[in-house]
């Protein structure tokens, strides 16, 4: 069983939480905790062996924690996700393989694409593919159609696996901290379109990828995971794109694993990640 707490920091929180768990005869298997001193914020993730009366445990924890503490007990162990795609296959293919072999930590409910390019690979893995072309609707209508399809599956998260569309604030507001995007640069560098072209023109010596939650600020949502690799003057923009695909796949896989295992805390525009 997993217990997740985020609240205002004060003296004695770890002792208080441990005492409540001991009262319920819950043995702590692992514990990660962190205090953001600048924000006076306390974060803790615990794994315990036994199963308890969740509501009774929640009420007792609430009594010893500061007001407005955020408490999660035994979150949904197998998350449900919907994946949004355009034409690039590499991130989607990795998700589908992990889903097939049961190592994703979530279940892919469907894939929604604004092009038909990736339908075949979805069908090969017996995953429903829904085509909603952005060319057939206004932006608002397109997003409404996507939202309707997403709602059918009631996912815990929506993964943007190289979904190359800028989403409106209205769409983003439907899924607070539920939209996970992979961006092909080491943010905050090279936001927006064509980051590899931007990196090539700037002559950088490192390129990277960033997985983050989506907010109304383009490519500025809370960062979950990042990775970089070295490049040099011999790399063309096309070489950078090819090398970058490997990083994008790896970073997105890592970020999803962390999120699905409830290891990511969000506060304001930052994350606390217990790896």
For 52, residues 6+ apart whose C-beta sits below 8 A from its C-beta are: 1, 24, 26
Give the bridge partners for 228, in sequence order.
Answer: 208
Say which of 94, 156, 219, 262 is annotated catalytic: 219
Active-site residue, 219 included: yes
Q: For residues 134 and 141, what is the distance between their CA atoms, to the nearest angstrom?
A: 9
How would you class 221 by CB atoms within 10 Å of its CB: exposed for 0-12, middle for 13-18, buried for 19 or more? buried
In whole angstroms, what is the distance from residue 164 CA to residue 183 CA? 10
Kindly report the backbone phi and psi dihedral angles of residue 261, in degrees, each rounded to the nearest multiple of 5, phi listed first: -95, 15
Residue 12 in tokens: 């004695």
Measured between alpha carbons, how far is 20 from 255 in angstroms, rounded to an integer?
A: 31
Please enumerate, as own/partner, the contacts of 191-194 that have beta carbons within 8 Å and a separation of 24 or more.
191/218, 191/219, 191/220, 192/218, 192/219
Beta bridge partners of 157: 81
Which residues carry out catalysis?
A: 219
């Amino acid at each position: 069983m997993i217990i997740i707490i985020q609240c205002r920091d004060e003296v004695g929180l770890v002792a208080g939480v441990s005492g409540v768990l001991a009262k319920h005869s819950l043995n702590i298997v692992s514990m990660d905790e962190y205090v953001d001193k600048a924000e006076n914020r306390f974060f803790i993730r615990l794994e315990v062996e036994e199963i308890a009366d969740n509501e009774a445990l929640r009420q007792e924890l609430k009594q010893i924690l500061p007001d407005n503490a955020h408490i999660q007990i035994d979150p949904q162990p197998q998350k449900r996700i919907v994946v949004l795609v355009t034409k690039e296959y590499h991130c989607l293919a990795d998700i589908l393989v992990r889903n097939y072999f049961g190592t994703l930590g979530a279940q892919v409910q469907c894939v929604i694409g604004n092009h038909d390019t990736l339908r075949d690979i979805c069908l090969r893995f017996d995953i429903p593919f829904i085509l909603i072309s952005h060319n057939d609707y206004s932006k608002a209508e397109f997003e409404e159609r996507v939202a309707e399809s997403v709602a059918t599956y009631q996912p815990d998260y929506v993964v943007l696996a190289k979904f190359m569309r800028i989403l409106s604030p209205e769409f983003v507001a439907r899924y607070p901290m539920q939209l996970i995007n992979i961006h092909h640069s080491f943010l905050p560098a090279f936001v927006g379109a064509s980051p590899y072209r931007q990196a090539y023109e700037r002559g950088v010596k490192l390129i990277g990828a960033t997985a983050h939650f989506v907010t109304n600020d383009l490519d500025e949502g809370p960062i979950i995971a990042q990775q970089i690799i070295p490049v040099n003057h011999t790399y063309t923009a096309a070489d950078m794109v090819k090398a970058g695909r490997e990083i994008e796949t790896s970073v997105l896989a890592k970020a999803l694993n962390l999120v699905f295992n409830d290891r990511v805390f969000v506060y304001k525009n930052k994350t606390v990640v217990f790896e």
